[in-house]
Copies of this chain bind each other. A is one copy, B any other.
Amino acid sequence: MNEDRNCQWRVARRPDGNVVAEDFQYTEEDIPRPGDGEFLLKTYYINLAPVMRMYMSGIAAAGETPLAIGDVIHGRAVAEVIASKHPDYEVGDYVQGQCGWQTYKVSRGTKQEKFRKLPDIGCSYSVALGSLGMTGFSAYFGLIDCGRPKKGDVVVVSGAAGGVGTHVVQIAKLLGCRVIGIAGGAAKCQLIKSLGCDVAIDYKDGDIAEHIEAACPDGIDLYFDNVGGETLQVCLENLAMHSRIVLCGSISEYLLDEPFGLTNYTRLRRTNSTMQGFFIYNHSDDFDRAERDMAAWLKSGRLRPAEHIFDGFENLPAALASLYDGSNHGIALVRIRRGPYDNRQQENR
């Protein structure tokens, strides 16, 4: 990475299957200068998410515009304001928002970029891509506002070792629930147990229906669904009275040739249960509340971000590819530079 230039990753071609090096184009240009009403951002961390392959495929997703060949790839980032001619942004402010895969950006602070200033809570600003960003907020609003957990509820979380899932597990435990996490493989199951899961189910080991029935003999009060498909179908067969299903993601369905058909949705009837979807930006009026609560939990040590950090701007393409092989856990992000409170030596935790 050249510190004196704006380094960028662009779409070279549409991916076919998982992303490979040839799908990306590396470019450099002069660091842009802010005009009136603009400010200049210097990037510290860039978020990694499965949806990025959809961006590269030219699909409009997660509220972002479709990308053409040659465009800088979309990516939410943590960045510092290093020059400003904008009344609302001062030099030294840190923000999270849409910066794209580049090391500098000039912005007018548009609604589409969704910039949000970061509070200083005494820990690495990478948390703005996890607990204090859209990933953590998805866990917060999905679980609390949509799922309405009560103390003692039996909460099942799929994709429990992922960015959203690791937060849902911990928040549900904070709220006094009994938490059953579902993840793939022994290492991920160990991770989610260390985060507080009462039971960790390895969906690659045996029959998931039997595991769920054994873990929830009195039924499920709240199912936080990150995967869709068969796991959702199994949970629908095991609902307690007045249970809630929260639809957050359906990663198990993305690679199917035929759309998945949910045949047992009528199971919601006998138990007066609800299935609710949510989109994180529908909750933007309440982001301050989530930030306040999550920050307090972080400071007290009751919430521990599970981060999977890749180092170096040049490694963005390979880091994205690794998301699709199932080995990733927690919040995946690429560190471009060390920011405040970022003294961590160990990588890939």
- The yes or no answer to A328 lying at the interface (CB within 8 A) is no
Residues A273 and B277 in contact, CB atoms below 8 Å apart: yes
Chain B residues whose C-beta falls within 8 Å of the C-beta of A260 in the assembled complex: 261, 263
Q: A241 at interface (Cβ–Cβ under 8 A)?
A: yes
Asked if A111 is an interface residue, CB under 8 A from chain B, the answer is no
Kindly supply a per-residue 1/0 record for chain A positions 94-128, scoring 1 wherever the CB is within 8 Å of any chain B CB and 0 otherwise: 00000000000000000000000000000000000
A247-B261 CB under 8 A given contacts A272-B282, A274-B274:
no
Report the separation of the CA atoms of residues A268 and B263 in the bound assembly, to the nearest whole angstrom. 16
B263 adjacent to A247 (CB under 8 Å): no
In the complex, what residues of B have CB within 8 A of residue A265's CB?
247, 262, 265, 275
- Does B266 lie within 8 Å of A250, measured CB to CB? yes
Query: Cβ of A276 and Cβ of B266 under 8 Å apart?
Result: no
Q: Tell yes or no: A228 within 8 A of B by CB.
A: yes
Q: How far is the CA of A276 from the CA of B262 in the complex (A)?
A: 15
Task: Let me know if B269 and A259 touch, CB within 8 A.
Answer: no
Closest 4 CB pairs of A and B: A261-B261, A268-B277, A269-B277, A259-B263
19 A-B pairs (CB sep. < 8 Å): A241-B282, A247-B266, A247-B268, A248-B269, A259-B264, A261-B262, A261-B263, A262-B262, A262-B265, A267-B277, A268-B277, A269-B278, A269-B279, A271-B282, A273-B276, A273-B277, A274-B274, A274-B275, A275-B276
